[in-house]
Amino acid sequence: MKSLFPTQLGRDAAIGAVIVIAMLAMPSLASKGFVFILGTLSLHIVFGLSWNLMFGQTGLVSFGHASFFAIGGYAYALTARLYPDLHPLLAFSGAGLFSAALALLVGMVALRRSLGVYFAILTLALSQIVYLVLSSIPALGREDGFTGIRRPMLDLGVVAIDLAQGNNYYYFIIVVSALLAALLWWVMHSRFGRAFRSIQQDPDRAAFLGINVQANRLAAFAIASGVTAVAGALYGPWLQLLTPEVAHWTFSARPILYALLGGVQSFWGPVVGAAGFAFLEYGTRTMHGFSEIIIGTILLIVVLVFPGGILGGLALLGKRVGSKVRNETRVEEAP
Amino acid sequence: MVDFIASPLFNGLFTAMVVFLFTTGLTLIFGILRVLNFAHGGFFMIGAYVAFTLVRAVGAQTSVLGYIGVSIVAGIVTGLCGIVVERVIFRPLQKVDESYSLIATYALLLITEGAVKSIWGVSFHSVAPPDVMNGAVFAGNLVMPIYALVIIALGVLSYALLEWILQHTETGKLMKSVASDPWMAGMLGVNVPRFYTYLVVAGFFMAGVAGGLLLPNQTLSPNLASTFVIQAFGALIVGGMGNIRGTFLAAILLCVVDSFGSLYFPAVPGLLFYIAMTLALLFRPQGLIAGARI
Amino acid sequence: MTYDFTRRELVKTLGVFGAAAALGTLSRPSRAQGDPIRLGLIAPLSGSQEIIGRYQLAGATIAVNQINQAGGVLGRQIELVTRDDKAAPAAGVAAAKDLAGSGVNLMFGILSSGVALAVAPTLADDKSVLVISAASANELTHEQFTRNLFRTSDHAYARQRALSKLVLGDFPDVLKWTAILPQTAISASNWDSFVDGMSQYSAEAGKPAEITEALWCKFGATDYKNEIAQLMRSDCEGLYCGVYGGDAVTMFGQAAAYGLTKKFKVLVDPGSEFIIANAMGKNTPPGLWSGFHWYHGAYEGHKINDDLYAAYVKATNDPHPAGYVGETHASVLAYASAIQKAGGTETEQVIAALEDLEFDSCKGMRKIRKEDHQAICDLNFVQFGPDESDQGWKVTSHRIIKDEGVSEEPTPGTPIVLKYKKA
C-alpha cells in the first residue's frame, strides 16, 4: 500500500476510481432494482460527505441538512418546469448556487448567534419550516409531491445524450456524484481544509493564529449546502417525483448516521456509512415486521464495538496489529 | 374575546404541559449527561403501552387513584429499562464523543418501535380518561375539558416538585454539583457512576410516567415514539442547557404561540411553533435561562 | 442479489402476523406443471402504515392460495412476491424496480397515493403492469394516466360522491356542511369530490346545500382542541371528518368532552373503516358513517365474499377484515382472469386483457374501463355506534351504493373536472 500510493491524493484517487468504475459497471451486472438503489446511494453518499465537511472539518452540527437537499430538488424541478429549454447543467448548478447563497444568508445570521447544539436545533427548526411550507404549497404538489419531473436531454455541444433513455441518467448521476465528491475532497485538502481542521481542533487557538473562524465555518456551511442541493436536484429526475419527506427531520438524520457510522475522521467515513446502511436496508427488505429491530440492533452493536465508526474501528485494529501506517493515513482513532 | 384569546390560550397551555411532561426526563438526562436521548419517545411509548395493558386488564380507567397508580407502574417498568440502557449504552459511550450516543439512542429508538410492534401489534388503541375526568367546565364560550385541567395541574405540580428538589434538597445540590463539574464532585467523594445510574433511571421513570398520564390524550400506536420528539427538543434547547425552569417556560412560550397560530394562520398548521423556536434561538442563543444547568 | 418470497418465507412472515396455523395446511405450489406465475405485491409492510399493509398482504395471500388450490391459472401455480414500500415514494420506486429486475412484471397493491404517483411513470420503461388496490388519488386515472397502470379499487371522486348521495338520501334536510381536514392532497381531493356530489345531488333534489369553508389541521397532529372549539361554534349540521386513521381516533377522543358528536346531526368519514371503532370501543362516536373499500357484511351469500371472510377469520382470528383485504384479493382475481383470457403473462398481453375486463370479486362484479383503466364497482359504507358488548361497538347500518352516474366520464391524460366548484 505504502509504496504504491505515496501520497494521500494518489491513494484516495485510486479508491475513488475503483468505486466509480464498479458503480458504472453495475447496470450490466445487476438487476434494475439494485441499480436504482445504487443510484440513490450515490446521492446519499454526496449528502453524507457534504454534511461531514461541516462536522468532521469544522465541528459544526447541522440537524437540518435535508432542507438544502429539498430546496435544491424543488428549485431544479420548478426551474425545469418553468424554463424547459434551459440547459440542464445550468439548471442543476443554478439549484446548487441558489441554495449555497441561501445558506450563506442563513449562516450569516445563525452562525453569529449560536453554536453547538443550539445551532443544531436552530437548523432543525428551520428545516421543519421548510418542510411545512413545502407541504402546503399547491403549486409544488403539497405532501403528494412534485410529480412528473422529467429526465432532461443533455446537450454537450458535440453530442446530445437523452438522459431519459436506458441507464443514461444513472451514469450521469454517478459521474456528477463523483465530481461533487472530488470537489469536497479538494476543499478538505486545500488551504480551506487546513483552516477548517484547526478550527475543529481548537476554535480559540485557531482564532488566535489569525484564522477567521466565523468566515471559515460560514464557507463550510455554504459549500456543504450547495453540494447537497445539487444532489437533491439530481434526485428529482431520478425518482421523477419529489415529496416534502426529503425535507423531514428523519431525512436530516441520515447524513449524521452515515458519517458517524462510517467514521467522521476519514473522508471515506460517510461513504462506508451510507453503503453499510443501504446494505442493511436492502438485506432486510423482505423481513417484514423485523426490519426495525434488526437495523437498530446492528447499528447499536457497531457503535458500541467501534465508537469511532467503522473506519475508525478498523484503523484502531490496524494499529493494534502493529504496523506503522499511521503517518500515511489520515484515518485516526476517534477522540 | 373568549373565542379568539382565552380558548387558544387555554389550549396552548394544555399542549405546553403535555410537552413539558414529556420533556422532563429528557431534560434531566441532557442537563447532566449531555446525552440528547432520541429513544426518550420510545420509552414514553412503552410507558403508555404498559399503562394501556393495565387499564385493559381491569376493564376501564375508573378512579383517579388508579390512573396515577397505573402511570407509576408504567414509570417503574421504563425505569428498569433505564438501568439496562445506562449499563449497556450510556456508560460505555461516556468516554467517546457525545455524537455517538446520539446515534446509539437513535438505534435504540428503532429497537423500541420494533419491540412494541412485536409485543402489542400495530393496531390503534385509545383509552378514555377516568370517568371523573370526562366532561368539561364551561365558562361562557370557553370549554375546558376536565382532563385538560388535570394535565395542566399535573404539569405545574411536577414543575414545582422538580424545582423544589433541585433548589432545596441535598439531592438537588448534589445533582447541580455533578452537572457543573463531575470530576470535582468525584474528588469530593461522590460516586459519580452510581449517581449517573440513578439519574438515568429517574429520567426513564419520568418518561414512563408521562406515557401513562398522557395515554388518554392521543391514539396509541407504534408511531407514538416520534410524535413529540421535535417539540421536546425545541422546548429543551430553547429553555437553555437542559434546565427544568427553562424547559417549562419554553414549552409554554412555543405551544401558546403555536396555538394562536393554528387559529390565525390556519393555512400552514404548526408553522408558528418553529418560527417562534427560530426567533427564540436567534435572540436568546444560550436559551431562555442561560448558564444554569438542570 | 434477488430474494424471492417463497412459500416458506410467506408462512414465516404470516406467522409473525398471527396467521401461520391456517396457512400450514395449504397446498404446496407444484413446479412440475411449469414455472409459477409470479405476482408482486407492493405494500407498506413496515413504518407508520404497516397496520394496513398487513391487511393487504392477508388478502393477497388468501387469493393466491385459493387460486392455487383450485388448480392455478393456465395450469400454473401463482407465487406471491412481496416488497415493502414503507408508504414512502422512494422506497416504492425501489420496490417496483426491484420486482421488475427480478423478472416480476405483474404488480399490484400500493396504499399511498404518493407512492402510486411515483411508481406510475416508471412502469412503461420497465415494461411492468401495476394494478392499484387502494390508492385513491384521482390523478392516477387522469393527468398521471399511463397505459401500464390499472385500478381495481374505487377512486376518491366516486367514493366521496357516493357518500354525499347516501347522506342526502337519509338526511335530506341536513344541507349545511363543513369539514375538518388534514393538510394533505388526498384530503383536499376527497372533500372537493364530496362537495361536488353534495352540490349536484342537492340541487337535483331542489334544495341546494350550503358548504362552509373547511377547517385545516396538521396531519399527524396530537391536539385538536382549537379546531374542535371552532367547530363547536359552527352553525353547520353535517360534519365531514377528513381526519383519518389514528388521527381521527385522537380527534374524536379529545372531542368527547366538548360534545362534538352531539352537536352535528350527521358525521361522515372518508375511509377510516374499522380503525375508529376498534380503537375507541364504547367511546365510538355514535352514527358515524365511514367509507369502506369492501364491507364483508354487505355481501353475505356471495360465495367469493363468504370464502374470503372465512379464510381471513381462520387465518387471523380477527372478525373485522378491513376493506384492504378485499381489494388486494380482487386485484389478484383480476390478474388471474386477465392471464386466463390472454393465455399468457407477457406485459402487452395482460394489458390488453385487463382493458374492458369484467370480473367477479368479493363485492360483486367490477368492470375495468378501457379508456382510463379505472374499475367501476360498488361503493360500500358502514355506520357505527357504541353498544354494551365486549368490543363496545357495533355496525348499526351498512349500505351499498351502485356506481350509476357516480363516477366521471373517462378522460385519461387530463385533470378531473369538478362540476360544482366550491363557493
The 10s digit of each residue's pLDDT in A273-304 is 999 989 888 887 777 667 788 888 988 888 88
Do B286 and A118 count as a contact with CB atoms less than 8 A apart?
Answer: yes
Do C94 and A240 count as a contact with CB atoms less than 8 A apart?
Answer: no
CA distance C393 to chain A (A): 29
In whole angstroms, what is the distance from residue C193 CA to residue A219 CA?
50
* Strand partners of residue C131: C108, C150
Residues of C in contact with B266 (CB under 8 A): 215-216
- CATH number of the domain to which B272 belongs: 1.10.3470
Q: Does A133 lie at the interface with B, CB-CB under 8 angstroms?
A: yes
Which grid cell sits at A96? 446548487
Do C183 and A142 count as a contact with CB atoms less than 8 A apart?
Answer: yes
Residues 259-318 of A with CB under 8 A from C: 285-286, 288-292
Q: ipTM, 2 decimals?
A: 0.86
A166: which residues sit within 8 A by CB, 6+ positions away? none
Q: List the domain range (segments joined by +) for residue C70.
A: 7-154+297-376
In whole angstroms, what is the distance from residue B12 CA to residue B7 CA?
8
In whole angstroms, what is the distance from residue C97 CA to residue C299 CA?
37
In whole angstroms, what is the distance from residue C278 CA to residue B196 CA?
42
- pLDDT over threshold 60, residue A120: yes
Do A289 and C118 count as a contact with CB atoms less than 8 A apart?
Answer: no
Read off the pLDDT band of C420 (50, 70, 90): confident
Do A144 and C97 count as a contact with CB atoms less than 8 A apart?
Answer: no
B62: which residues sit within 8 A by CB, 6+ positions away? B130, B131
In whole angstroms, what is the distance from residue A205 CA to residue A186 CA?
24
Mean pLDDT of C165-169: 94
What DSSP string runs through A59-97?
----S-HHHHHHHHHHHHHHHHHH-TTS-HHHHHHHHHH
Percentage of chain C lying above the pLDDT 90 cut: 68
Which phi and psi angles does C413 have, rounded to 5°?
A: 90, -20
Nearest Cβ partner for C221 among B124, B134, B269: B269
Q: Does A261 lie at the interface with B, CB-CB under 8 angstroms?
A: yes
Count: domains in chain B: 1
**Is B267 domain-assigned?**
yes
Testing the interface with C: which of A286, A290, A294, A295 to mutate, by most C Cβ within 10 A? A286
Do C117 and A144 count as a contact with CB atoms less than 8 A apart?
Answer: yes
C128 and C195 housed in the same domain: no
Do A33 and C184 count as a contact with CB atoms less than 8 A apart?
Answer: no
Angle at B163 between CA B160 and CA B169, to 5 degrees: 120
Q: What is the pLDDT of residue B94?
A: 80
**Is B293 domain-assigned?**
no
**Is C171 domain-assigned?**
yes
C309 and C211 housed in the same domain: no
Do A132 and B113 count as a contact with CB atoms less than 8 A apart?
Answer: no
Read off the pLDDT band of C19 (50, 70, 90): very low
Least confident of B88-97, C332-341, C390-399: B88-97
Q: Does A129 lie at the interface with B, CB-CB under 8 angstroms?
A: yes
**Is C93 domain-assigned?**
yes
C223 and C172 housed in the same domain: yes
- Residue of chain C nearest A136, judged by CA positions: C183
Higher pLDDT, B256 or A112: B256
C183 and C281 housed in the same domain: yes
Count: domains in chain C: 2
A 10 A CB-CB count for C370 gives 12
Nearest Cβ partner for B8 among C217, C222, C226: C226
Nearest Cβ partner for C215 among B14, B126, B266: B266
**Is C267 domain-assigned?**
yes
A 10 A CB-CB count for C1 gives 12
Q: What is the pLDDT of residue C22?
A: 35
C272 and C301 housed in the same domain: no
- CATH number of the domain to which C246 belongs: 3.40.50.2300
C215: which residues sit within 8 A by CB, 6+ positions away? B266, C178, C179, C180, C181, C227, C230, C231
Distances from the Cα of C150 to the Cαs of B142, C350, C403, C415, in angstroms?
51, 11, 18, 17
Mean pLDDT of B156-180: 89
**Is C421 domain-assigned?**
no
Mean pLDDT, rounded, of chain B: 88
Q: List the domain range (segments joined by +) for residue B133.
A: 2-120+129-283
Do A300 and B95 count as a contact with CB atoms less than 8 A apart?
Answer: no
Which one, of A194, A254, A226, A293, lies nearest residue A69 by Cα? A226
Q: What is the pLDDT of residue B293?
A: 63
C234 and C260 housed in the same domain: yes
**Is B8 domain-assigned?**
yes
Q: What is the pLDDT of residue B241?
A: 74
C22 and C121 housed in the same domain: yes
How far the first Cα of chain C sits from its last, in Å, is 56
- pLDDT over threshold 60, residue A37: yes
Do B285 and A289 count as a contact with CB atoms less than 8 A apart?
Answer: no
**Is B292 domain-assigned?**
no
Size of interface B-C (CB pairs under 8 A): 103
* Kind and range of the H or E run holding A299: helix A291-305
Q: What is the pLDDT of residue A114?
A: 67
Q: Does B234 lie at the interface with A, CB-CB under 8 angstroms?
A: yes
Size of interface A-B (CB pairs under 8 A): 124
Neighbours of chain B (3+ CB pairs under 8 A): A, C
